[in-house]
Amino acid sequence: MNAAVVAAGGITVLAVLLFFEEGGVLTEAHVRARAHVLDAARWAFVIACSWVLIPLALSQPESLRAATVLSLAGLIVALMLLPLRWFVRLGGRGPTWELRRAKVEVAWLANKIRRHPGSVSSSRLQQSIDRVEALRTIQTSELCDLLIAEIDDLMAGTESWNEAGRRSIRIDSLSRKLWPGEMPPPDFDSAEATFRWKLYRTLGEMIEVGLQDPTPQSRAHFRKLMLSLEEFRREDTEAFIDDVEDSASIWLATRPAQPPWIASFDFGALGPKGLEEVRRIWGRDASLWGALLDDGDFVAIKEDLARRATSIRRTEDPAPEPREAVG
């Protein structure tokens, strides 16, 4: 019986040590309290099995003792080796941290669709929207709106160059407040990111004007935007700006009205190296992270989200049925 006490005591000490170690891991994973409870229940069961079953096994007749001890050892080891991720999945993470996982998923889906349009089904995108909506809290409401707006545009195939850029910057800013120290670093410091954002925004405004039916006023605005590109000329942007100006000048000189200047973000209009230059300057979302949005940017974000909210309400609220005339 002394051997049973030594064995059970050794397993108890090991179980307690592993329990505290796993508790730290679960805390870092930001799991819900029930995940801690499930893990504690696992180790409590291991300890109970050790103190109850080990003495019982050693008290068996010698002919059965070896097989019983081996079976018991297998059971205890199996319980001890249960993957910790099972308890994370069963217990779940806190809503804010589940939202972080959903945010990473949205970014992954967006990049996949941009590279290969049609590669993600509408049902898969709708599942992502439902997941984000289910995790909404007062603290994360704006971030949820921005994530859902991104998926909506991808589903509709109507993503705006500038709206996507503003959303990326704002999503990153909100994310760093929610999960400090957990976000990947931006590619550049704030000043450089802001410079790239302003150049990005100017190109986006030119794209938007170039999508409209040409009028004297829109052409004048387009020329003004084209001239403003000179503010961003430096060694690493010079070739890109030259290609934009050449392409824009040809488009402006075309009569009668031709198709949009740049449609569906086909940067082949900028020449054989157009897409390569766009990727070199803004190849990753992180190239814009940390950029300072101005008042106009924040107004544009609010107006975009307000339009979407109004559209959703109109869809959800059916129009009143016409009343029959009285008399």
Q: How confident is the model at residue 326 (pLDDT cuts 50, 70, 90)?
A: very low
Average pLDDT, the chain: 83
More confident residue, 107 or 43: 107
- Extents of the domains making up the chain: 2-91, 94-187+290-316, 190-283
Burial 124-155 (b: 16+ CB within 10 A, else e): ebeebbebbeebbeeebeebbbbbbbbbbbbb
Phi and psi at residue 90, to the nearest 5°: -70, -40
Contacts with 137 (C-beta within 8 Å, 6 or more apart), sequence order: 95, 96
Distance CA 147, CA 137 (A): 14
For residue 263, the model assigns a pLDDT of 79
The residue with tokens 């971030």 is: 143
pLDDT in tens, 10-69: 878 887 787 777 776 666 665 666 777 787 888 888 888 777 777 777 776 766 667 777
Average pLDDT for 309-325: 56
Distance CA 307, CA 250 (A): 35
For residue 235, the model assigns a pLDDT of 94
pLDDT in tens, 132-178: 998 888 889 999 999 999 999 888 888 889 999 999 999 999 999 98
Instruction: Centre a 10 Å sphere on the Cβ of residue 247 and count the other Cβ atoms it contains.
Output: 21
For residues 267 and 275, the answer to whether their CB atoms sit within 8 Å is: yes
Residue 327 has pLDDT above 60, yes or no: no
More confident residue, 207 or 10: 207
Query: What global pTM score does this model have?
Result: 0.71
For residues 25 and 85, the answer to whether their CB atoms sit within 8 Å is: no
The token duo for 316 is 């959800």
